[in-house]
């Protein structure tokens, strides 16, 4: 059985769909600080399968151990964490506590229940200003520009040291690039609280009239059209990456790190233009100043995941824009 932490969140919900469709049994936990329990019903509508679930904070070691003692957990896929970059600058202690203390509490419980396999949600943010693009896993980790990034950086180190001390453990660190899109059913997707930090949810909220216009943060970067370039990846492709990572766990991989990206960089204007073309909606925008902490260009070399896991991202930017809009539309009905 697989334990999924942060189970009702954006990426975990899509991953549970792919895992269930591949025959895995899931037990999920989440403290619902950034998601809703209704997500579970929507997952069930897609897969026809139930998920064992409990509302637990990963920092609550006793509750966690108590709940998990009822199951035989072979692998934990650890998504739970706070992820808002700006908020992490304002509330660093909350972020370090939630993400790092939470992971340490989880690791202690996993050790106590004899679970030796972990897949962890890391981020391309650990590369800081990347030393080179496309970014391979050998690219040195950089200086993070915010506490959120440092939590990923530090948790990776904790996991590396934990696996080194326990060579019978298998730990896969997945560095996600920019997840967007939604399940094509429109039943699950990303629905951020408040003003979205990320580009795609901001665009869908402009498209539905919730916000007046998009602010494009800078057009004077050293990129083809001057706006920031990122590796946007469809969340369903990302979710499949976790199913493929299970094969590395099966092969007793020890410690492995994989980039999960498409290998293609798109600018902010590329995303706006594609969204407008695919969905036939105009996105009003205004160029404003650069956002502090942003980098010019970030995209993956995903060759290692292809070679070792047999994983390749299949969805296009058109698919990402269409599915993001489909999900936003479903929210509004």
Note the residues at the interface with ligand WQD (CB under 6 A): 83, 85, 123, 125, 178, 197-199, 202, 214-217, 228, 230, 268, 291, 294
Least gap, CB of 80 to ligand NAD (angstroms): 4
The two beta strands, 117-123 and 229-230, are unpaired
Catalytic option among 148, 221, 266, 327: 148
- Rounded CA-CA distance 190/35 in Å is 9
Determine which residue in the list 75, 88, 98, 324 makes contact with ligand NAD, applying CB under 6 A: 98
Question: CA-CA distance, 49 to 247, in Å (whole number)?
Answer: 22
Minimum Å gap between C-beta 143 and ligand NAD is 18
> Count residues contacting ligand NAD (CB under 6 A)?
26
- For ligand NAD, the closer CB: 80 or 298: 80
Using rule CB under 6 A, residue 35 touches ligand NAD: yes
Q: Is 202 a catalytic residue?
A: no
Give the interface segment with ligand NAD, choosing from 73-81, 159-167, 225-233, 307-315 (CB under 6 A): 73-81
C-alpha to C-alpha distance for 184 and 324, rounded to whole angstroms: 9
Per CB under 6 A, contacts with ligand NAD among 100-139 are: 102, 121, 123
Phi-psi sector, 276: left (phi>0), alpha (psi -120 to 50), beta: alpha
Which partner in ligand NAD, ligand WQD, none is near 28 (CB below 5 to 8 A by kind)? none
Name the residue nearer to ligand NAD (CB basis): 85 or 214: 85
Residues that bind ligand NAD (CB under 6 A): 6, 8-12, 30-35, 57-59, 79-83, 98, 102, 121, 123, 176, 179
Q: Which residues are catalytic?
A: 148
């Amino acid at each position: 059985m697989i334990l999924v932490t942060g189970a009702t969140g954006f990426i975990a919900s899509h991953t549970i769909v792919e895992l269930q469709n591949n025959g895995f049994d899931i037990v999920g936990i989440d403290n619902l600080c950034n998601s809703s329990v209704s997500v579970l019903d929507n997952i069930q509508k897609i897969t026809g399968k139930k998920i064992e679930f409990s509302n637990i904070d990963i920092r609550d070691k006793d509750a966690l151990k108590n709940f998990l003692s009822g199951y035989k957990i072979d692998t934990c896929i650890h998504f739970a964490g706070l992820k808002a970059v700006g908020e992490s600058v304002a509330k660093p202690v909350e972020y370090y506590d939630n993400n790092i203390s939470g992971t340490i509490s989880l690791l202690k419980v996993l050790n106590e229940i004899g679970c030796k396999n972990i897949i962890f949600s890391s981020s391309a943010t650990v590369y800081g200003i990347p030393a080179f693009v496309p970014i391979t896993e050998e690219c040195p980790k950089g200086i993070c520009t915010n506490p959120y990034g440092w939590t990923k950086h530090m948790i990776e180190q904790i996991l590396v040291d934990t696996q080194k001390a326990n060579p019978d453990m298998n730990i896969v660190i997945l560095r996600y690039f920019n997840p967007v899109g939604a399940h094509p059913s429109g039943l699950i997707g990303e629905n951020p609280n408040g003003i979205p930090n990320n580009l795609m949810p901001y665009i869908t909220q402009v498209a539905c009239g919730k916000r007046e216009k998009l602010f494009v943060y800078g057009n004077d970067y050293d990129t083809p059209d001057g706006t920031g370039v990122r590796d946007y990846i469809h969340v369903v492709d990302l979710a499949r990456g976790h199913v493929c990572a299970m094969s590395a766990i099966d092969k007793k991989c020890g410690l492995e790190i994989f980039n999960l990206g498409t290998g293609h960089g798109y600018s902010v204007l590329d995303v706006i233009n594609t969204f407008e073309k695919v969905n036939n909606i105009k996105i009003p925008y205004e160029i404003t100043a650069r956002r502090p902490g942003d980098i010019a260009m970030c995209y993956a070399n995903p060759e290692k995941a292809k070679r070792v896991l047999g994983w390749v991202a299949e969805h296009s930017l058109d698919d990402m824009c269409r599915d993001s809009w489909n999900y936003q539309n479903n929210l509004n009905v």
